[in-house]
């Protein structure tokens, strides 16, 4: 099969468990919303299918109008019929459509996956239902997709369904599937007796396809059946093929390595544009960034009730407060860094242990540390604009977006050399030659010493105005938009379509 995705209008269905602006818990939502928008702007026919978390949507701001389609889809779950209605909306600025699966029993919840007690007990049932609904929506609405692009374990069942129940059926004869891994740590592992929820025969519960360590594994299911696999950065694509990064599925990924592509996420450069950002006290460009960032810094200090001293470096961190994000390194290094006359601003929520540590630090050093536990979109933007340094010392980071927001806003990041951080932040080693491309500071060893020393080196470099300006220029002038990333996805779609005719021959059915 020959296909040139760059010169033909594709019919693309993107299935995800969350997407901005309708629902969000993390980077998956940003990626799903932005990719749909970019592919639509490139002229492709794009449909996004997501669950309708009605309580979340009702309480959110800026949601486009949602209307009924009149379409209902019924799936047998545990030998009982479960019916969903399909609502529709749009992605502003494009012709891309959004279909929201309305099923109150499964999705009328204030969080998509769990509450303070952990994941919802019926998550397998909920997302097996969602995965089974997606191809039925395509069939009933005659979407005839060229590509169904699945994201994370919540949609991992879809490639299996396309390769079995829907193989060769009307509307799917030439449909290819792509599976994207956003975070290998989350796999959708469930009791093996949940297998009937998938609607797949028990013969597929084997170590080549749907079984892992005697459990039903929905991410593995997607990896086994998809025509192409992507993840969210080139470095992460290599990391997940190792025992340390693969979380038990590295043999599967090594076996599919030829079909695995790492594509660095882009950012929404309309929402994250320091020149036009309505959440900032003033906009600025590369040429006006000194005055602009100075004003943004003063505004941030005032908002966070810190002394307004322009000469005091502000270190920012917007993150989930969990081990993955390196909060143990930050907390153990905090007093050492505060001795250098800096201010630190934290925004996020997560592990109660780290939330309390951050609160305690702010209480002990009220002139230097400020924290907001929770999330505030305007404050996130203002930290990116008002800080001098931004911290991302992650244990692992599939892609990361905040380092790209920081670079776009002229805030120099300090990151660990993992995943997408390694692919987007170029280390300044103190040598003149590195200033050609350097835009931040990178350390390798996951240790307090390596982290603290790198932050201290960055603070010392901050005093050299010429070097600092060059680091900022390198970051602000690079294209961080989705344009390039969307083009790479189109290449993957082309390869997936070329594999359709070989599915049965390859024995993945």
Q: What is the DSSP string of 282-305?
A: S---STTHHHHHHHHHHHHHHHTT
CA distances 179 to 229, 236, 262, 425, Å, are 5, 15, 12, 26
CATH number of 11-266+484-502: 3.40.50.2000
Tokens standing for 14? 């993107």
Contacts with 228 (C-beta within 8 Å, 6 or more apart), sequence order: 176, 177, 178, 179, 259, 261, 492, 493, 495, 496, 499
Q: Fold identical between 11-266+484-502 and 289-479?
A: yes
Rg of the chain (C-alpha set): 23
CA distances 402 to 212, 243, 266, 422, 492, Å, are 33, 27, 11, 13, 25
* Extents of the domains making up the chain: 11-266+484-502, 289-479
Contact 441, 428 (CB under 8 A): yes
CA angle 249, 263, 53 (to 5 degrees): 75
Contacts with 494 (C-beta within 8 Å, 6 or more apart), sequence order: 3, 4, 5, 6
DSSP string, 367-425: TTEEEEES--HHHHHHHHHH-SEEEE--S--SS-SHHHHHHHTT-EEEEESSHHHHHH-
Looking at residue 500, its pLDDT comes to 86
Looking at residue 502, its pLDDT comes to 64
DSSP string, 297-331: HHHHHHHTT----TTS-EEEEES-BSGGGTHHHHH
Q: What is the pTM of this model?
A: 0.91
Looking at residue 503, its pLDDT comes to 54
Looking at residue 25, its pLDDT comes to 83
Q: How far apart are alpha carbons 175 and 145 in whole angstroms?
A: 6
Averaged pLDDT in 10-residue chunks for the chain of 509 residues = 58 96 86 91 95 87 89 95 97 88 96 88 97 97 97 98 92 96 96 97 97 97 98 97 96 97 93 96 98 98 97 96 94 97 94 95 98 92 98 96 97 98 97 96 98 98 97 97 93 95 51
Q: How far apart are alpha carbons 469 and 286 in whole angstroms?
A: 10
CA angle 369, 370, 373 (to 5 degrees): 135
Looking at residue 118, its pLDDT comes to 86
Q: How far apart are alpha carbons 402 and 417 in whole angstroms?
A: 15
Of 143, 172, 140, residue with least CA distance to 159: 172
CATH 3.10.450.50 is held by the domain 289-479 = no
């Amino acid at each position: 099969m020959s296909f040139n995705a760059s010169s033909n209008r594709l019919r693309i269905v993107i299935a995800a468990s969350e997407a901005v602006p309708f629902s969000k818990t993390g980077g998956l939502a940003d990626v799903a919303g932005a990719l749909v928008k970019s592919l639509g702007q490139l002229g492709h026919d794009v449909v996004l299918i997501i669950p309708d978390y009605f309580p979340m949507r009702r309480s959110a701001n800026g949601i486009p109008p949602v209307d009924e389609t009149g379409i209902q889809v019924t799936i047998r779950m545990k030998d009982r019929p479960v019916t969903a209605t399909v609502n529709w909306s749009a992605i502003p600025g494009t012709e891309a459509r959004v279909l929201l699966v309305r099923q109150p029993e499964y999705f009328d919840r204030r969080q998509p996956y769990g509450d303070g007690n952990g994941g919802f007990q019926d998550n397998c049932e909920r997302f097996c239902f969602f995965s089974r609904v997606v191809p039925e929506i395509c069939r009933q609405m005659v979407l005839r997709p060229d590509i169904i692009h699945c994201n994370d374990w919540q949609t991992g069942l879809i490639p299996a369904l396309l390769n079995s129940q829907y193989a060769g059926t009307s509307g799917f004869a030439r449909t290819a599937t792509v599976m994207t891994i956003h975070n290998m740590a989350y796999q959708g592992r469930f009791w093996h007796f949940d297998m009937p929820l998938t609607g797949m025969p028990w013969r597929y519960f084997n170590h080549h396809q749907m079984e892992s360590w005697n459990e039903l594994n929905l991410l593995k299911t997607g990896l086994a059946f998809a025509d192409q696999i992507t993840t969210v950065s080139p470095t992460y694509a290599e990391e997940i093929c190792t025992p340390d990064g693969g979380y038990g599925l590295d043999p599967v990924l090594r076996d599919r390595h030829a079909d695995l592509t790492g594509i660095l996420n882009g950012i929404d450069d309309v929402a994250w544009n320091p020149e036009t950002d309505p959440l900032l006290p003033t906009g600025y460009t590369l040429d006006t960034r000194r005055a602009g960032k100075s004003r943004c810094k003063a505004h941030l200090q005032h908002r966070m009730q810190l002394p307004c001293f322009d000469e005091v470096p502000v270190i920012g961190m917007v993150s989930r407060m969990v081990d993955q994000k390196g909060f143990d390194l930050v907390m153990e290094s905090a007093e050492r860094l505060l001795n250098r006359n800096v201010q630190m601003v934290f925004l996020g929520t997560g592990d109660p242990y780290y939330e309390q540590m951050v609160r305690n630090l702010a209480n002990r050093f009220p002139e230097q540390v400020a924290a907001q536990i929770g999330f505030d979109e305007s404050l996130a933007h203002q930290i990116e604009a008002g800080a001098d340094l931004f911290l991302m010392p992650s244990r692992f980071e599939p892609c990361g977006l905040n380092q790209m927001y920081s670079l776009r806003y002229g805030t120099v990041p300090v990151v660990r050399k993992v995943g997408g951080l390694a692919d987007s932040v170029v280390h300044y080693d103190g040598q003149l030659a590195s200033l050609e491309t350097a835009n931040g500071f990178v350390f390798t060893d996951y240790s307090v010493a390596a982290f603290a020393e790198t932050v201290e080196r960055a603070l010392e470099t901050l005093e050299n105005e010429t070097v600092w300006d060059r680091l900022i220029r390198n970051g602000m002038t690079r294209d961080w938009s989705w344009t390039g990333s969307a083009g790479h996805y189109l290449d993957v779609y082309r390869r997936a379509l070329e594999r359709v005719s070989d599915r049965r021959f390859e024995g993945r059915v």
